[in-house]
Amino acid sequence: MPLDQARDMARNRGLDLVEVAATAVPPVCRLLDYGKYKYEQAKKEKEAKKGQKIVSVREVRLRPKIGDHDFEAKARLARKLINGGDKVKITILFRGREVTHPEIAWKLLQRMAESLKDIAAVEGQPLMEGRRMHVVMAPGAAQKVKTEKVKEEVN
């Protein structure tokens, strides 16, 4: 159909002439209400985003010579972040000659993992990068344990 005739038809019906496939020969167009079409597309995108879960990585920093009370406070903070659905990166910062004793940081990271084992799982081994040692903990260990217990009870 010629372009002028298609425009007249759209104007008479109170609709818009929208090009659907520009690469086709001849180009394909449709008669539709463009405002309504854009609204429905935005609605579909919003619905698709609802199903997505954005997981961010939050960081909790420790020092090798941290006190017991301070460690417990950091563990509570990490627990709160994990319960919120975020991954937590536990980082040990070394200053001066502390870097010559990575075993202290290793023990601290193990202690943190032990205190959070009921709600989180360790992702990978602790890594040493420059003057920092870190490990990432992800939520979900508790759900895995619960489903395993339910399976055992059913059997």
Residue 1: partners with Cβ closer than 8 Å, 6 or more residues away: 9
Average pLDDT over residues 1-12: 88
Look up the domain containing 25 and give its range: 3-50
Same domain, 22 and 85: no
Q: Of 3-17, 25-39, 44-58, which gets the smallest average pLDDT? A: 44-58
Same domain, 61 and 37: no
> DSSP per residue over 7-26, as a string?
HHHHHHHT-EEEEEESSSSS
Q: Are 137 and 85 in contact (CB under 8 A)?
A: no
Same domain, 79 and 122: yes
Task: Give the chain's mean pLDDT.
Answer: 86
Residues 61, 44: Cα–Cα separation, whole Å:
41
* Whether pLDDT at 146 is above 50: no
* Whether pLDDT at 129 is above 70: yes
Same domain, 44 and 66: no
Specify burial of residue 19 (Cβ count, 10 A radius: 0-12, 13-18, 19+).
exposed
The number of folded domains in the chain is 2
Same domain, 88 and 40: no
Same domain, 71 and 137: yes
Which residues make beta-bridge pairs with 57? 87
Same domain, 33 and 106: no
Residue 151 lies in a domain: no
Residue 153 lies in a domain: no
Which CATH number does the domain housing residue 39 bear?
A: 3.10.20.80
Same domain, 132 and 68: yes
Same domain, 42 and 74: no
Task: Kindly report, residue by residue over 71-128, the tens digit of the pLDDT.
Answer: 999 999 999 999 988 899 999 999 999 899 899 999 999 999 999 989 999 988 888 9
Same domain, 27 and 85: no
User: Beta 87-93 vs 28-32: how paired, if at all?
Assistant: unpaired
Band (141; pLDDT cuts 50, 70, 90): low
* Whether pLDDT at 155 is above 80: no
Q: Residue 98 gets which letter from DSSP?
A: G
Which residues make beta-bridge pairs with 21? 28
Strand positions, DSSP E, the chain? 16-21, 28-32, 57-62, 87-93, 120-129, 132-139
